[in-house]
């Protein structure tokens, strides 16, 4: 599923990377506020769904080769976090839905869990 479809399904505001949404294809997601879990369990190419808006969410997505970050519950990172994501080419979206709801919508739409085996 392209990021642009995900943005539509979850009524997202695109914070960064609007121009890439139509070309990035996401097949799986990993949802966590704990970056330790993402680093340990997530497969590459996943959409990270999180409520953590710190700089470390961007570093985590970068080192783990994740496709993009979706912030839940209308959370919006500070400018430093957005600037860091820009240097790493990581699209950022925010949705008014909470994490459970956002995951439910994406699961029903056919996205799978991104767990490394």
> What's the length of the chain?
117
- Contact between 99 and other proteins by CB under 8 A: the answer reads no
**Secondary-structure percent of the chain, ordered helix, strand, coil, rounded to 5:** 40, 20, 40
DSSP code of 20? G
**79 part of the interface to other proteins, by CB under 8 A:** no
The H or E element that residue 113 is part of is: strand 112-113
Residue closer to other proteins (CB basis): 11 or 116: 116
CA of residue 25 relative to chain centroid, distance: 12
7 vs 57, which CB is nearer to other proteins?
A: 57
Among positions 8, 22, 44, 104, the unique one binding other proteins when judged by CB under 8 A: 44
Q: Is 64 in the site for other proteins (CB under 8 A)?
A: yes
- Residue 59 touching other proteins (CB under 8 A): yes
């Amino acid at each position: 599923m392209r990021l642009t479809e995900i943005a539509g399904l979850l009524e997202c505001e695109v914070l960064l990377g609007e121009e890439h949404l139509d070309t990035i294809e996401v097949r799986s997601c990993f949802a966590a506020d704990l970056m330790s879990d993402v680093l340990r369990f997530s497969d590459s190419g996943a959409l990270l769904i999180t409520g953590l808006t710190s700089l470390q969410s961007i570093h985590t997505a970068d080192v783990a080769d994740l496709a993009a970050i979706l912030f839940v519950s209308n959370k919006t990172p500070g400018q430093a976090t957005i600037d860091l994501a820009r240097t790493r080419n990581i699209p950022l979206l925010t949705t008014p839905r909470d994490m459970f709801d956002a995951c439910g919508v994406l699961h029903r739409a056919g996205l799978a869990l991104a767990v490394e085996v």
